[in-house]
Amino acid sequence: MTVPPGSTIGIIGGGQLGRMLSMAAARLGYKCHIFDPHEHPPAADVAALFTRAAYDDRAALERFAAQVDVATFEFVNLPVEPLTVLGDKLRPGTRSLAVAQDRASEKEFIERCGGRVAPWRTVECLEEVEAAVAEVGTPLVLKTRRYGYDGKGQAWIRSPDEARGAWEKIGAEPAVAEAGVNFVAEFSVIVARWEHGGRAFWDSPENEHGDGILRRSTVPCGDLVAAQLTEAREAALHVAEALGHVGVLTVEFFAGAEGPLVNEIAPRVHNSGHWTIEGSVTSQFEQHVRAICGLPPGATDLIGAGAVMDNLIGDEVNRWPELVADAGAHVHIYGKGEPSPGRKMGHVTRVESAQPVRGTGEH
Ligand code: AMP
């Protein structure tokens, strides 16, 4: 199915990812229609149409389905069943969402696809948390199976006596207990996949987190990560293929002595790929539009020698006067209004050297 320029792309979720998708789609001549329950979602400012409705509002989703030529999502914690009204118009499909929404099904799926994850157990009560501590050891991190993001819904257990406190901290909800990984670096594989199996990778960024939130992504990666990329890309591609995924998919990894271990899958464009807007020939956002609309892949080579992307979290966005005065900084502000602690308000990308250099992007 080719969806030609001039068509309307529906985007479920109106956050910054939907905003950057809309901007990339507009450049290719598409109109976007945002579906989001909030009053002023950041993506609606740059899109042609906006439906304000709850994600499980079937009647609103049916009207939306009739008004769009193809639909995608930028937010993963969506009720899956109501989305079935979109049928084949939804790209990627609901399978990608369902697997990534539950940390236990995600890990089982990754392992079935040949990817490796840190030792883990599902836990449903304090006794099971204590049993996981005894079997897996500490440090151990509890993560709620659903609705966790940016380090939310997580608690560390550094010694057995912390089990109860951690279980209470995550709200005594069904969770996974996962061994703490002694990683040297974190990185992601960002891959776009087309309906009939075409795929494109970008250079893999090394990612630095603080308090569970991405702070910085840097390309190209260092030698340790580079040595683990073949295995990591293979695992990411197996996941994308097994899901029948269409569009961009991101897999986050820990790089350490044991090789690449998968942390998690995001079945969508990702914060660690924001550098591609200025740092790569084709951005992750444009490529996602190309993949879901059945257009050919764009090149993913680096534009310069590399790029560094820094998130603007909370009131860091108030530094904008200094940032826009820096001629080498590409400043992105998401138009979210008042900053609050931990909220992603914008990002800044600096591309290193204007000399075109062939990176390890592949298409
Ligand atoms: P997540 O929300 O699962 O992506 O976790 C956010 C961040 O917490 C990760 O990017 C890591 O920096 C850290 N983290 C999560 N799980 C582990 C783990 N098993 N071992 C070490 N660090 C972790």
Closest ligand 1 atom, CA of 152?
Answer: 2
Q: Please identify, by atom number, the ligand 1 atom nearest to the C-alpha of residue 141.
A: 19
CA of 29 to the centre of ligand 1 (A): 39
Identify which of 76, 103, 141 to mutate to test ligand 1's pocket (most ligand atoms within 8 A of the CB). 141
Tell me what percent of the residues of the chain surpass a pLDDT of 90: 93
CA 341 / ligand 1 centre spacing (Å): 19
Residue closest by Cα to atom 17 of ligand 1 = 180
| Average pLDDT across the chain, whole number | 96
* Per-residue pLDDT, 354: 60
Residue 357 pLDDT greater than 60, yes or no: no
Nearest residue by C-alpha to atom 8 in ligand 1: 212
CA of 285 to the centre of ligand 1 (A): 25
pLDDT for residue 147: 82
- Between 190 and 211, name the one with better pLDDT: 190
* pLDDT for residue 353: 79
CB distance 118 to ligand 1 below 6 Å: yes
Query: Does the pLDDT of residue 359 top 90, yes or no?
Result: no
**Residues facing 200 on adjacent strands:** 192
Task: Look up tokens 């295995």; give the residue.
Answer: 231
> How high is the pLDDT of residue 355?
56
Task: Determine the atom of ligand 1 nearest the C-alpha atom of 207.
Answer: 10
Q: Full-prediction pTM beyond 0.75?
A: yes
Q: Which residue has the least CA distance to atom 11 on ligand 1?
A: 212
User: Is the pLDDT assigned to residue 356 strictly greater than 60?
Assistant: no
313 has pLDDT over 80:
yes
**Dihedral pair phi/psi, residue 286, rounded to 5°:** -60, -40
Q: Which atom of ligand 1 is least distant from the CA of 118?
A: 19
358: pLDDT strictly greater than 80:
no
CA of 200 to the centre of ligand 1 (A): 26
SS3 of the chain: CCCCCCCEEEEECCCHHHHHHHHHHHHCCCEEEEEECCCCCHHHHHCCEEEECCCCCHHHHHHHHHHCCEEEECCCCCCCHHHHHHHHHECCCHHHHHHHHCHHHHHHHHHHCCCCCCCEEEECCHHHHHHHHHHHCCCEEEEECCCCCCCCCEEEECCHHHHHHHHHHCCCCCEEEEECCCCCEEEEEEEEECCCCCEEECCCCEEEEECCEEEEEEECCCHHHHHHHHHHHHHHHHHHHHHCCCEEEEEEEEEECCEEEEEEEECCCCHHHCCHHHHECCCHHHHHHHHHHCCCCCCCCECCCEEEEEEEEHHHHHHHHHHHCCCCEEEEECCCCCCCCCCEEEEEEEEECCCCCCCCCEC
- pLDDT of amino acid 361: 74
Can you tell me the mean pLDDT for 85-114? Answer: 96
Q: Is 158 in the pocket of ligand 1 (CB under 6 A)?
A: no
Ligand 1 atom nearest the C-alpha of 151 is 2
**Angle ∠(222,226,230) on CA atoms, nearest 5:** 165
pLDDT over threshold 70, residue 110: yes
Look at 305 and 362; give whichever has higher pLDDT: 305
pLDDT of residue 291: 98
Going from the Cα of 362 to the center of ligand 1, the distance in angstroms, rounded, reads: 28
Does any ligand 1 atom lie closer than 6 A to the CB of residue 186? yes
Averaged pLDDT, 303-311: 97
Q: Please give the pLDDT value at position 152.
A: 80
Residue 117 pLDDT > 60: yes
For 98-109, what is the mean pLDDT? 96
Q: Is 286 a residue whose pLDDT tops 80?
A: yes
Residue 1's pLDDT is 83
Average pLDDT over residues 352-363: 65
For ligand 1, atom 18: residue with the closest CA: 180
Measuring from atom 19 of ligand 1, which residue has the nearest CA? 180
Ligand 1 midpoint to CA 212 (Å): 6
pLDDT at 151: 72
Residue 28 confidence (pLDDT): 98
Binned at pLDDT 50, 70 and 90, residue 162 comes out as very high
Q: What is the mean pLDDT of residues 348-354?
A: 89
Per cent of the chain over pLDDT 70 is 97
Among 182-191, 223-232, 250-259, 347-356, the range scoring the smallest mean pLDDT is: 347-356
Q: Among residues 177, 52, 57, which one has the least CA distance to residue 107? A: 177
Is the model's pLDDT at 17 over the cut of 80?
A: yes
